Structure 1
Amino acid sequence: MPRLVWAAVAAVLVLSACLAAARLGGPEGTGRAGGPGTGAAKPAERRAPVVFFLGDSYTVGIRGIKPEGAYAAETARLLGWQVVVAGLARTGFAGSGGTGKTFTSLFNEQLSWRPTPDMVVLSGGHNDVRQPPAKVAQKARLLMETVRKRWPRTQLVLMGPLWGGDPGPKALKVRDVLREAAAEMTVPFVDPLAGRWITGNVRKGTGNADRLIRSDGTHPNPAGNLHIARRLVADLRSMRLDRPVLGRTRVTYTPPSPAVPSPGPTGGHDQAIPGDGDEPDEVVPRPKRARP
């Protein structure tokens, strides 16, 4: 065969191969000449972590503070998380505050049926100060076991009670038993009381409570929620839990912080200060009015 014919056949074969390779990209221009996919493949966009919070009114908000303005949502906003905020005011690990609910029942109702998250944060204890400490610890362990059984690959975090000022001995006792339960189950523990996130007394105008806590002496105002979120973000970053990844983040027990000494009989409060009738996390029952 003449050399010219051979050259023509070779050119046709090369052209056919190029056309075949271009067609492998699919009909939407992902591989065809001139299409948007002709360059190098774009790296997959990083998925935002999915984090569930379960807690009391500090977590879900109260009258005047919507859920999206409470510290849990503020934390997710600061860290770029996708968040589900669950829970109910007046509730705790053992305390129900007259609602008939505890954190375990709220977990089953609000969270357990959802797709697997990257991390679950259990935050509470404020409404457990009138419960036997051993019962609080037992209920907390049960809930952590329930979460782990439901989602074995999910990172779990336990956060101790939040307080509207200097804590009293009952609050510290609840914190201590929760910290011990976390240690037993090798769960990272966040300790707002040891970290002194909120100090002083709003009604005495002392500490940072004067600008961060509402007049009820218990709940944070908008600035207080943002402050709590920033403190939580700092703790999570120090534990490398700010970017949890399902099945890959494996942070366990964090060594306990030194206990905060009791402020004594003249400082702080060991239970929530009743408000003006519209504050949901009152752990002290209101006295009944005598009938005339």
Structure 2
Amino acid sequence: MFVGDSLTEGSGASDKSRLEWVPQLAPRMGWTNYRVDALGLTGFLRPGGNGSVDRTYGNRVRQFHERSPGFEPDLVVFQGGFKDSIDGSSELAVAVRDTIENARRIWPSSQFIVIGPITSCPALDRIAQAYQRGALLANTPAIDMNRKPAFDIKDAEIYLTEDEMASERRRLFPGRRNAIDLNSWPGAV
């Protein structure tokens, strides 16, 4: 199961079922029965949208379990990034830990991993470090893709529409074009 933000949702991909990173990773890993619970503007602390409805990762895990009580994933992948940047790093680390621990109570046989941010942006170092601390507190592995990004400059147009690519480039990568290259990390999951 994958829980994430707009990147996990495939926002901007011309064909989410094919170009979003989860459908690319799953066959490489031999996974056929996976679920994706992803929503833009969300995170471990970020509730999404205008904040009137709590869609943080922890709440979404609980709601997913209520909708599908018989489903117990072998692996739960939490992916996050930019949207959690509005919060303090100590609060974020606690939210990561609490989300994992609550998910572990729901799915005691599952394994967990935290990935994020999946970009290389110095402004996201604080978030990456908070994810690492929170995962460590929950005795869960974490992949810091801010230090070793999964982006390849040459393939941006494959993953993002022209408008999305320009928007993301302006927001996070002034002067650079980036796209996900899963070849750099599939063995880590």
- Fold shared per TM-score above 0.5: yes
1:79 to 16, 19, 29: 29
Structure 1 residues 10-29: aligned runs within 5 Å: none
Letter matched to residue 3 of structure 2: L
State the secondary structure of the residue aligned to 1:75: helix
Q: Confirm or deny that 1:102 pairs with 2:56.
A: yes
Q: Decide whether the 8 Å contact of 2:79 with 2:117 is kept in 1.
A: yes
Distance in 2 (alpha carbons) for counterparts of 1:177 and 1:167: 15
State the secondary structure of the residue aligned to 1:143: helix
CA separation of 1:168 and 1:147: change in aligned 2, threshold 3 A: same
**Equivalent position of 2:83 in the other structure:** 127
Flag the structure with higher helix content.
2
- What are the superposed Cα offsets for residues 42-92 of structure 1, whole Å, 9 maximum, x if unpaired? xxxxxxxxxx00000111111444442210121002122021111201101
Q: Decide whether the 8 Å contact of 2:4 with 2:43 is kept in 1.
A: yes
Q: Decide whether the 8 Å contact of 1:126 with 1:162 is kept in 2.
A: no
Distance in 1 (alpha carbons) for counterparts of 2:168 and 2:38: 21
The CA deviation at 1:111 is: 4.3
Identity %: 21
State the secondary structure of the residue aligned to 2:114: strand
Distance in 1 (alpha carbons) for counterparts of 2:188 and 2:146: 13
**Equivalent position of 2:127 in the other structure:** 174
Distance in 2 (alpha carbons) for counterparts of 1:72 and 1:104: 20
CA separation of 1:224 and 1:114: change in aligned 2, threshold 3 A: farther
TM-score norm. by structure 1 comes to: 0.53
Structure with bigger RCO (C-alpha 8 Å, 6+ apart): 2
Of structures 1 and 2, the larger Rg is shown by 1
Distance in 1 (alpha carbons) for counterparts of 2:143 and 2:121: 16
RMSD over aligned Cα atoms: 2.2
Distance in 2 (alpha carbons) for counterparts of 1:114 and 1:105: 18
Unaligned runs of 5+ in 1: 1-51, 199-207, 237-292
Unaligned runs of 5+ in 2: 173-177
Letter matched to residue 108 of structure 1: R
**Equivalent position of 1:161 in the other structure:** 117
Count of aligned residue pairs for this structure pair: 168
**Equivalent position of 2:175 in the other structure:** none
Structure 1 residues 117-266: aligned runs within 5 Å: 117-163=73-119, 166-169=120-123, 171-198=124-151, 208-209=152-153, 211-212=155-156, 214-217=165-168, 224-225=179-180, 227=181, 229-236=182-189
State the secondary structure of the residue aligned to 1:120: strand
CA separation of 1:86 and 1:66: change in aligned 2, threshold 3 A: farther
